[in-house]
């Protein structure tokens, strides 16, 4: 083992910080890069909880059941070996989170509280009030700070990922854009770990952070990294529309007994219970989202019948959010809900150790595609963020790193010149319009229900945006990052549409009205690659990424 | 809705600040975050003199009061832009300024890294959680909600960026460490005393302004005990 391995992590949310801490514990030196501190990461918005079978006396839940729920929720596209590892590690992860000081909610016996979540056979979602992500971030920031004080982790804020240093299929670090100095910085590393979250910017305003835009994986795709399962995009079924964004109403509301209905002729129709039985409101997110979008009128989520004390203790964030943004008192009235883009099951294709097809380039958290298959269970995203981080750190601790690094000076100088000559141009056409157009196209053609005609139309429109973008000069009215990120975001948008068009079946979160059935012959992940403008898609029939 | 939005702008850390006013004709149910978004992206930003201007720089991430990015001074009152609504503001002009206790990066974006640095140089981390009887989990949960937005420092009469008094955000992290790891209680109370208790004049403006309602007074009471 090389104890002096230098690890570069892009992203400082829960996945990035978990990886940094574990790498440091294992003797690796870490540099962790993000434009802003961890408190601004999307991780703080993860409200629901984290799944784990704790193995407590008298518990009838089993790890096998967690594995089956996860595989089933993902329409059996999540690799069984990977999902088994995920579920088996869950109780250790909860113990670790407790050890580092996460403030979990506890029941009367002092045990970490658990609640039911959609698509699950047991109450196994451990939680911290309605702010699980925030509580974990706080504990992890403290843990990282300890590593920073000890000189094992170095935080580099004010920087964005620009590109990876790749030669002959191996990665040696990254070029970073320093937003304070407006310059590119070369950082060599033995391994580059991407922890950049989902690709929200493809869809404009979603339930997530405006900072997660997909640029990094779009850029790596252009540099030869393969992407997987891009068409599987989870729409959270219950979000509250406000003028600034769609705000997620956590699944915990339904976990606590919340019921969905619409009104017909003055009568409440409990459509989920009518169609799927007493537990209908807890069906998986894809089913609930489709049923809500198919409802004939505005759908509401009712929790007003619940004991107000339970609302105050377990759902206080939902209570406050509805009151603040829409003046709704959830103790007295139902919440109007609509589905919204929420989570990307697709991302960088990774092997079991979370390494991509490019040696020494790893991906963790939401930007990696591994565990969730065609759809993700609530409570599994935080789990996979931490599990993937730990798996990666442990894999790195076993590596021996070469002492020699290829000479990237020609590449870095060329990129610096390219960026400088770009920023020296001046455009009257705002790059933000292209971003908005991209989001409109994706919302329209990559929504909950898709078909070949619409996807083709979306591809035509994205091609048009790419054509405009290729002629764009620098828009000095916004920052440099927004300018240089556009092209890779568009390429990622095109890859996503192509993946959706290629999957001629309905499975999990991918619903094709022209192919409404699930086709057993397509029960494989799909991989898309890029070579100088050419996109190639294949089904992973040999399970090459499950090794 | 016809309003004027007057913004204290600055192109970069080394340049002079200047005021620029825009007309806002967007939705009346918007938050200030929504107003800034509207001014930036509804059309090219044109100021009241009719001149096309740069888009307004401000920080945002979650847009729902959970990340603290969009803290600024709104009509003289420090607040989160995403949680301040036009319906609650008086008059026909909104005045936006960056937080005044931190160096300005550009327009309404400021550099709050001193908050992290102060915690780092005082070894403010939990280490290992050691459960103890009678823990106040509710208060621990509340303290751990701190957004590091800087609003408590903006209103604090004692806080000056760069000085040795670190303010309420520091005090609440100290409490969390004290409560979660009794082995560090002595050390953390010492730095709390040095960098908070010794300089706090108990105006408690930090409690009123906190967007997540952290009862800092309770943290102080527990640490002073």
**CA A104, A386, A124: angle at the middle one, nearest 5?**
50
Q: Do B151 and B94 share a structural domain?
A: no
Q: Which residue of A has its CA nearest to B31?
A: A244
- The last residue of a domain, from among B62, B93, B110: B110
Asked if the Cβ–Cβ distance from B120 to A430 is below 8 Å, we say no
pLDDT mean over A339-356 = 97
Mutate to test the interface with A, among B65, B80, B103, B141 (most CBs of A within 10 A): B141
Q: Which residue of B has its CA nearest to A436?
A: B41
Mutate to test the interface with B, among A100, A131, A142 (most CBs of B within 10 A): A142
Distance (Å, whole) CA A303 – CA A519: 38
Q: Which of B54, B62, B140 sits opposite A209 (nearest CB)?
A: B62
Residues 54-93 of A with CB under 8 A from B: none
Q: Do A413 and A524 share a structural domain?
A: yes
Q: Do A421 and A324 share a structural domain?
A: no
Task: For residue A157, list chain B residues with Cβ-Cβ distance below 8 A.
Answer: 113
pLDDT mean over A211-239 = 97
Q: Do B188 and B143 share a structural domain?
A: yes
Q: Do A332 and A419 share a structural domain?
A: no
CATH of the domain at A449: 1.20.58.100
Q: How far is B215 from chain A (nearest CA, A)?
A: 16
Asked if the Cβ–Cβ distance from A180 to B176 is below 8 Å, we say no
Q: Which structure tokens are listed for B18?
A: 């200047």
- Of A158, A435, A426, the C-alpha closest to B37 is A435
Task: For residue B119, list chain A residues with Cβ-Cβ distance below 8 A.
Answer: 145
Length of chain B (residues): 225
Residues 520-539 of A with CB under 8 A from B: none
pLDDT mean over A216-228 = 98
Domain count, chain A: 2
Contact with chain B for residue A40, Cβ under 8 A: yes
Q: Do B117 and B106 share a structural domain?
A: no
Mutate to test the interface with B, among A106, A200, A244, A483 (most CBs of B within 10 A): A244
Q: How far is A290 from chain B (nearest CA, A)?
A: 26
Q: Do B169 and B121 share a structural domain?
A: yes
- The last residue of a domain, from among A341, A360, A384: A341
Q: Do A421 and A336 share a structural domain?
A: no
Q: Do B133 and B39 share a structural domain?
A: no
Beta-carbon count within 10 A of A231 CB: 26
Asked if the Cβ–Cβ distance from B61 to A41 is below 8 Å, we say yes
Question: Which segments of A62-196 does DSSP mark as H helices, in order?
Answer: 63-73, 80-99, 132-149
Question: Which segments of A193-303 does DSSP mark as H helices, in order?
Answer: 215-222, 252-255, 271-276, 285-294
Is B47 a residue whose pLDDT tops 80?
A: yes
- The last residue of a domain, from among B110, B135, B168: B110
pLDDT mean over A152-162 = 97
Q: Do B210 and B142 share a structural domain?
A: yes
pLDDT mean over A383-399 = 96
Q: Are B84 and B32 in contact (CB under 8 A)?
A: yes
Q: Do A413 and A337 share a structural domain?
A: no
Is B225 a residue whose pLDDT tops 90?
A: no
Mutate to test the interface with B, among A40, A96, A144 (most CBs of B within 10 A): A40
Residue where the block lists tokens 């930003």: B45
Q: Are A511 and A448 in contact (CB under 8 A)?
A: yes
Q: Are B20 and B47 in contact (CB under 8 A)?
A: yes
Q: Do B18 and B92 share a structural domain?
A: yes
CATH of the domain at B165: 1.10.1060.10
Q: Which of A67-71, A280-284, B83-87, B95-99 has the lowest mean pLDDT?
A: A280-284
- The last residue of a domain, from among A284, A306, A341: A341
Q: Which structure tokens are listed for B112?
A: 């709050």
Asked if the Cβ–Cβ distance from A98 to B140 is below 8 Å, we say no
Distance (Å, whole) CA B14 – CA A543: 55
A–B: how many Cβ contacts below 8 A? 131
- The last residue of a domain, from among B110, B136, B159: B110
Asked if the Cβ–Cβ distance from B141 to A129 is below 8 Å, we say yes
Range of the domain at B9: 3-110
Q: How far is B157 from chain A (nearest CA, A)?
A: 25
DSSP per-residue letters across B59-112 = --SSSSSSS-TTEEEETTEEEEGGG-BGGG--SSEEEEE--TTS-EEETTEE--
CATH of the domain at B29: 3.10.20.30
> Is A86 part of a structural domain of the chain?
no
Asked if the Cβ–Cβ distance from A247 to B64 is below 8 Å, we say yes
In chain B, the percentage of residues whose pLDDT exceeds 90 is 91
In chain A, the percentage of residues whose pLDDT exceeds 70 is 99
Is A119 a residue whose pLDDT tops 80?
A: no
Q: Which residue of B has its CA nearest to A428?
A: B44
Q: Do B140 and B213 share a structural domain?
A: yes
CATH of the domain at A321: 3.90.700.10
For all residues of chain A together, what is the average pLDDT?
Answer: 94
> Is A256 part of a structural domain of the chain?
yes
Name the pLDDT band for A15 (thresholds 50, 70, 90).
very high
Q: Which of B31, B126, B147 sits opposite A101 (nearest CB)?
A: B126
pLDDT mean over A426-449 = 92
- Of A127, A60, A123, A71, the C-alpha closest to A98 is A127
Q: Do A258 and A333 share a structural domain?
A: yes
Q: Considering Cα of A64, then A69, then A70, then A74, what sign does the dihedral take?
A: positive
Q: How far is B39 from chain A (nearest CA, A)?
A: 13
Domain count, chain B: 2
Distance (Å, whole) CA A17 – CA A28: 14
Q: Do B170 and B96 share a structural domain?
A: no
Distance (Å, whole) CA A154 – CA A173: 15
> Is A393 part of a structural domain of the chain?
no
Rounded to 5 degrees, what are φ and ψ at A49? 160, -170
> Is A325 part of a structural domain of the chain?
yes
- The last residue of a domain, from among A294, A322, A341: A341
* ipTM of the complex as predicted: 0.97
Q: Do A423 and A315 share a structural domain?
A: no
Q: Do A531 and A423 share a structural domain?
A: yes
> Is A271 part of a structural domain of the chain?
yes
Q: Which residue of B has its CA nearest to A208?
A: B62
Contact with chain B for residue A432, Cβ under 8 A: yes
Asked if the Cβ–Cβ distance from B127 to A146 is below 8 Å, we say yes
Range of the domain at A248: 236-341
- What tens digit of pLDDT does each residue of B12-32 get? 999 999 999 999 999 988 999
> Is A337 part of a structural domain of the chain?
yes
- What tens digit of pLDDT does each residue of A500-517 get? 999 999 999 999 999 999
In chain A, the percentage of residues whose pLDDT exceeds 90 is 83
Name the pLDDT band for A470 (thresholds 50, 70, 90).
confident
Asked if the Cβ–Cβ distance from A138 to B27 is below 8 Å, we say no
Asked if the Cβ–Cβ distance from B41 to A436 is below 8 Å, we say yes
Residues 259-318 of A with CB under 8 A from B: none
Q: Do B103 and B190 share a structural domain?
A: no
How high is the pLDDT of residue A4?
60
- What tens digit of pLDDT does each residue of A78-102 get? 989 999 999 999 999 999 999 999 9
Residues 202-231 of A with CB under 8 A from B: 205, 209-211
- Of A379, A349, A346, the C-alpha closest to A362 is A349
Q: Do B41 and B14 share a structural domain?
A: yes
Q: Which of A344-348, A352-356, A402-406, B38-42 has the lowest mean pLDDT?
A: A402-406
> Is A301 part of a structural domain of the chain?
yes
Q: Do B62 and B30 share a structural domain?
A: yes
> Is A198 part of a structural domain of the chain?
no
> Diameter of chain A by CA atoms?
74
């Amino acid at each position: 083992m090389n104890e002096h391995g230098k690890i570069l992590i892009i992203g400082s949310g829960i996945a990035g910080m978990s990886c940094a801490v574990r790498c440091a514990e294992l003797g690796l030196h870490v540099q962790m890069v993000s434009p802003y501190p961890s408190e601004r990461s999307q991780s703080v918005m993860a409200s629901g909880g984290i799944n784990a079978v704790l193995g407590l006396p008298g518990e009838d839940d089993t790890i096998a059941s967690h594995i089956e729920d996860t595989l089933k929720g993902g329409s059996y596209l999540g690799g069984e070996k990977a999902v088994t590892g995920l579920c088996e590690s869950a109780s250790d992860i909860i113990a670790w989170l407790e050890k580092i000081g996460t403030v979990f909610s506890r029941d009367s016996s002092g045990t970490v509280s658990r609640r039911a979540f959609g698509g699950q056979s047991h109450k196994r979602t451990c939680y911290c009030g309605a702010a699980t992500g925030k509580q974990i971030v706080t504990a992890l920031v403290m843990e990282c700070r300890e590593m920073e004080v000890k000189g094992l982790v170095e935080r580099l804020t004010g920087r964005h990922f620009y590109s990876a240093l790749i030669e002959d299929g191996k990665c040696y670090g990254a070029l970073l854009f320093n937003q304070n100095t407006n310059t590119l910085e070369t950082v060599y590393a033995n391994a580059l770990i991407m922890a950049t979250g989902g690709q929200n910017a493809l869809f404009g305003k979603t339930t997530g952070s405006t900072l997660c835009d997909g640029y990094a994986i779009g850029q790596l795709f252009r540099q030869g990294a393969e992407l997987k399962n891009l068409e599987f995009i989870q729409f959270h079924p219950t979000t509250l529309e406000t003028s600034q964004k769609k705000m997620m109403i956590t699944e915990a509301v339904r976990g606590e007994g919340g019921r969905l209905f619409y009104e017909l002729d003055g009568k409440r129709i409990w459509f989920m219970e009518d169609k799927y039985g007493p537990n209908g409101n807890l069906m998986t997110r894809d089913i609930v989202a489709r049923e809500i979008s198919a409802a004939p009128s505005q759908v509401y989520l009712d929790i007003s019948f619940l004991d107000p004390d339970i609302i105050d203790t377990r759902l206080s964030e939902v209570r406050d959010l509805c009151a603040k943004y829409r003046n709704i008192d959830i103790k007295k009235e139902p919440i109007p809900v609509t589905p919204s883009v929420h989570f990307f099951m697709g991302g960088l294709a990774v092997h079991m150790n979370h390494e991509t097809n490019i040696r020494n380039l790893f991906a963790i958290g939401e930007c990696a595609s591994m565990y969730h298959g065609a759809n993700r269970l609530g409570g599994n995203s935080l789990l996979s963020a931490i599990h993937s981080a730990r798996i990666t750190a442990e894999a790195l601790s076993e590596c021996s790193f070469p002492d020699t690094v290829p000479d990237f000076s020609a590449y870095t100088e060329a990129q610096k010149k390219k960026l400088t000559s770009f920023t020296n141009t001046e455009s009257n056409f705002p790059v933000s319009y292209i971003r908005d157009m991209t989001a409109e196209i994706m919302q329209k053609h990559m929504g909950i229900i898709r078909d070949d005609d619409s996807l083709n139309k979306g591809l035509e429109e994205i091609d048009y945006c790419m054509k405009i973008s290729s002629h764009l000069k620098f828009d000095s009215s916004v920052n440099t990052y927004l300018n240089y990120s556009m092209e890779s975001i568009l390429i990622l948008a095109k890859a996503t549409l192509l993946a959706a068009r290629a999957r001629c079946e309905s499975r999990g979160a991918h619903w094709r009205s022209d192919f409404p059935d699930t086709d057993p012959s397509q029960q494989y992940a799909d991989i898309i690659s890029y070579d100088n403008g050419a996109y190639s898609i294949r089904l992973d029939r040999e399970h090459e990424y499950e090794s | 809705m016809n309003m004027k939005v007057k913004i204290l702008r600055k192109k970069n850390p080394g340049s002079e600040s200047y005021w620029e006013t825009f007309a806002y004709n967007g939705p009346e149910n918007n938050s200030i975050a929504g107003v800034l978004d509207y001014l930036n992206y509804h059309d090219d930003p044109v100021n009241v003199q009719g001149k096309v201007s740069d888009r307004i720089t401000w920080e945002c991430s979650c847009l729902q009061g959970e990340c603290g990015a969009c803290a600024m001074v709104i009509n003289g009152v420090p607040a989160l832009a995403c949680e301040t609504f036009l319906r609650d503001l008086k008059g026909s002009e909104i005045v936006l300024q960056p937080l005044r206790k931190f160096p300005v990066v550009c327009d309404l974006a400021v550099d709050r890294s001193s908050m992290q640095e102060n915690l780092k140089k005082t070894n403010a981390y939990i280490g290992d959680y050691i459960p103890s009887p009678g823990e106040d989990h509710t208060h621990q949960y509340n303290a751990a909600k701190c957004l590091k937005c800087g609003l408590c420092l903006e209103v604090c009469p004692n806080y000056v960026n760069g000085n040795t008094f670190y303010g309420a955000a520091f005090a609440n992290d100290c409490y969390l460490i004290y409560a979660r790891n009794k082995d560090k209680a002595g050390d953390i109370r010492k730095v709390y005393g040095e960098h908070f208790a010794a300089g706090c004049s108990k105006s408690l403006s930090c409690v009123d302004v906190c967007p997540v309602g952290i009862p800092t007074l309770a943290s102080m009471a527990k640490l002073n005990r």
